[in-house]
A and B are shown apart, each in its own frame.
Chain A
Amino acid sequence: MLTGTAKETYAADEALLTTRPHKLWMAAFMALLAVAPFLLNDYWLYLLCLATIYVASATGLNILTGYTGLVSLGHAAFMAVGAYTVAFLERETGLPFLLNILLGGLLAAALGAVVGLPSLRVKGLYLAIATIAFSFILHFVFVHFEGVTGGNRGINVAPATIFGHELSTYFDLYYVIMPVTVLLVLGAANLFRTRIGRAFIAIRDRDISAEVLGIPLLRYKLMSFAVAAFYAGVAGGLWAYFFRLVTPETFPLLTSIFLLAAIIVGGMGTILGGIIGAVFMTLTPEALRVVVDILSLFVDNAAGVLSPIRTVVFGGLIILFLVFEPQGLAEIIQRMRRFLQLWPYKR
Chain B
Amino acid sequence: MDWLFFAEVSMAGLGSGALLALTALAFVLIYKATKIINLAVGEVLMFGGYLYFAFAAGWGLPAWASIPLAVIGGGVVGGIVERGIIRPMLGENPISVFMVTVGLGSVLIGLTELIWGPNPRSVPAFVPSSPVFIGEAYVSRKILVSFVVAGVVIALFALLFRFWRGGVALRATATDQAAAYSCGIDVPRVFAAAWILGCATAAGAGVLLGSIGGLSVEMGAFGLSALAVVIVGGLDSILGALIGGLTLGLVQSWTSTYWGGEYVNLTTFSILLAALVVRPYGLFGTHDIERL
Known: A121-B277, A322-B96. A308 touches B106 (CB 8 A): no
7 cross-chain pairs, A with B, having the tightest CB-CB distances, nearest first: A315-B106, A318-B103, A311-B110, A312-B110, A315-B107, A308-B113, A133-B269
One of B98, B99, B103, B276 near A130 (C-beta < 8 A): B276
> Residue on B with the closest CB to A326?
B96
**1/0 contact trace for A209-222 toward B, CB 8 Å?**
10000000000000
Residues of A within 8 A of B263 (CB): 140
One of B96, B107, B273, B290 near A312 (C-beta < 8 A): B107
* A322–B111 CB distance below 8 A: no
> Residue on B with the closest CB to A317?
B103
Docked CA distance A264–B290 (Å):
27
A-B contact pairs, 16 of them (CB 8 A): A118-B277, A126-B276, A128-B98, A130-B273, A134-B273, A136-B224, A260-B102, A308-B111, A311-B109, A312-B111, A315-B108, A318-B103, A318-B106, A319-B107, A322-B100, A323-B88
Residues of A within 8 A of B270 (CB): 133, 137
Having A130-B272, A319-B104, A322-B100, one finds 6 other A-B pairs with CB under 8 Å, namely: A136-B269, A305-B114, A312-B107, A313-B110, A319-B103, A322-B89
Residues of A within 8 A of B273 (CB): 118, 130, 133-134, 137
Chain A: interface residue total (CB-CB under 8 A): 42
Residues of B within 8 A of A308 (CB): 109-111, 113-114, 118
Residues of A within 8 A of B103 (CB): 261, 314-319, 322
Q: How many residue pairs, one in A and one in B, have C-beta atoms under 8 Å apart?
A: 126
* A126–B231 CB distance below 8 A: yes
Docked CA distance A121–B88 (Å):
31
Known: A121-B277, A309-B114, A312-B114. A318 touches B37 (CB 8 A): no
Min CB distance B33 to A, Å, is: 16
**Residue of A129, A130, A257, A318 with most partner-chain B CB within 10 A:** A129
> Residue on B with the closest CB to A135?
B269
Docked CA distance A7–B194 (Å):
53
* A312–B266 CB distance below 8 A: no
Residues of B within 8 A of A121 (CB): 276-277, 280
* A129–B272 CB distance below 8 A: yes
* B114–A264 CB distance below 8 A: no
* A125–B96 CB distance below 8 A: no
> Residue on B with the closest CB to A128?
B98
Docked CA distance A139–B221 (Å):
15
Those of B140-193 within 8 Å (CB) of chain A: none
Docked CA distance A129–B39 (Å):
10
Interface bracket on B? 35 or more
Min CB distance B101 to A, Å, is: 9
Min CB distance A266 to B, Å, is: 13
**1/0 contact trace for A90-133 toward B, CB 8 Å?**
00000000000000000000000000001001101110111011
**1/0 contact trace for A134-176 toward B, CB 8 Å?**
1011011001100000000000000000000000000000000
Docked CA distance A125–B263 (Å):
25
* B276–A132 CB distance below 8 A: no
Min CB distance B40 to A, Å, is: 9
Docked CA distance A311–B102 (Å):
12
Docked CA distance A319–B37 (Å):
15
Residues of A within 8 A of B269 (CB): 132-134, 136-137
**Residue of B85, B102, B113, B118 with most partner-chain A CB within 10 A:** B102
* A323–B85 CB distance below 8 A: yes
* B118–A307 CB distance below 8 A: yes
A17 within 8 Å of B (CB atoms): no
Docked CA distance A139–B231 (Å):
21
A340 within 8 Å of B (CB atoms): no
Residues of B within 8 A of A276 (CB): none
Docked CA distance A312–B103 (Å):
9
B262 within 8 Å of A (CB atoms): yes
> Residue on B with the closest CB to A209?
B292
B136 within 8 Å of A (CB atoms): no
> Residue on B with the closest CB to A143?
B262
B248 within 8 Å of A (CB atoms): no
> Residue on B with the closest CB to A134?
B273
A289 within 8 Å of B (CB atoms): no
* A326–B106 CB distance below 8 A: no
* B94–A124 CB distance below 8 A: yes
**1/0 contact trace for B266-292 toward A, CB 8 Å?**
101110110011001000000000101
Those of A208-264 within 8 Å (CB) of chain B: 208-209, 257, 260-261, 264
Docked CA distance A264–B100 (Å):
10
Docked CA distance A130–B276 (Å):
7
Those of B94-142 within 8 Å (CB) of chain A: 94-96, 98-100, 102-111, 113-114, 118
> Residue on A with the closest CB to B282?
A126
> Residue on A with the closest CB to B105?
A315
* A139–B277 CB distance below 8 A: no
Docked CA distance A305–B118 (Å):
10
Residues of A within 8 A of B92 (CB): 322, 326
